[in-house]
Amino acid sequence: MKKAHKIFLAAVSIFVFAFIFSAAADAALFTGNDWMKLSNAKKVAEVKAFISDVRSQGIVVKGDPVEYAKRLDRVYKKHPDLLAKEVAKTLKTVMIMDYDWEIKGMNKDTIAKQWLGEELYNKNKLRREKKGK
């Protein structure tokens, strides 16, 4: 019985891993190129879904989904090299650059440095200072 139980657990583990990997692969396929093909309403819906997902992980995002959808459009037009990248990573980067990514107990500067890296963090800091933020 113990051997059968181990085999069952191994099979379940493989199934769960395959499911998670498949879901992650599907999400990874949604790039800026895909984003630019969406209607404005679908873009806003995608941002809302992203915010809902990160909130379920304990992350607080206060920004307006409509504004983030417009911002992504501007980012992709200004930086076409990002079109091949995952929308989720680009959106998270924009939110972190706006200091709109709150994790309980973590300083926003620390979050920004970790995600952006030292060089982009410093450029973003200067950009925010020029805007008076």
Per-residue pLDDT tens over the stretch 71-128: 999 999 999 999 999 999 999 999 999 999 999 989 999 999 999 999 999 999 999 9
| Per-residue pLDDT at 131 | 84
Is the entire prediction scored with pTM above 0.95?
no
Cα gap 10→4, rounded to integer Å: 10
- Summary mean pLDDT of the chain: 85
∠ Cα 65 68 73 (to 5°): 130
